[in-house]
Amino acid sequence: MPKRKCSNIDASVGLRMRYYRIQCGLTQQQVADALNINRTTYTKYETGVSEPSHELLGKIVKMFGIDYNAILDNRDYFERRVADADMTLNVLTLAERAIITRFRSMSKEDQKKICEYIDMLYNEKTKKIL
């Protein structure tokens, strides 16, 4: 007899957890180790057999650099709270890692140009929002 769930969280929560874990380039074991739980327990969350507690779900969304809506709603985005000082480098996506690798291989002058360009793009985006 299957275990009963303790809440009415959407069954696709586990699929989204898997999606964001993969986007971060993490294994189930790495996530489980960071959460201080067994890998099989985490696997049950992704497969929908079991659900994480609210406290654990909070740790998961923080680890993935997303908000609760990304896990609980059916949104198709991967937003990071880059200003979050608690966000660790192990949650970088593969694309972010590639950018950093390329950036580090550039000359100091080219790195400065890239930083200036990113600042310009960011400032343009924030002006549109305001």
Residue 25 has a pLDDT of 86
Residue 69 has a pLDDT of 76
Residue 123 has a pLDDT of 86
Give residue-wise pLDDT tens across range 62-97: 888 887 777 876 444 344 444 444 445 555 667 777
At position 65, the amino acid (one-letter code) is: G
Residue from 125, 8, 14, 20 nearest 67 by CA: 20
pTM of the model: 0.53
Identify the sign of the CA torsion 105, 108, 113, 116: positive
Give residue-wise pLDDT tens across range 3-15: 444 455 566 889 8
Q: Which residue has the tokens 């993935």?
A: 64
At 83, is the secondary structure helix, strand, or coil?
A: coil
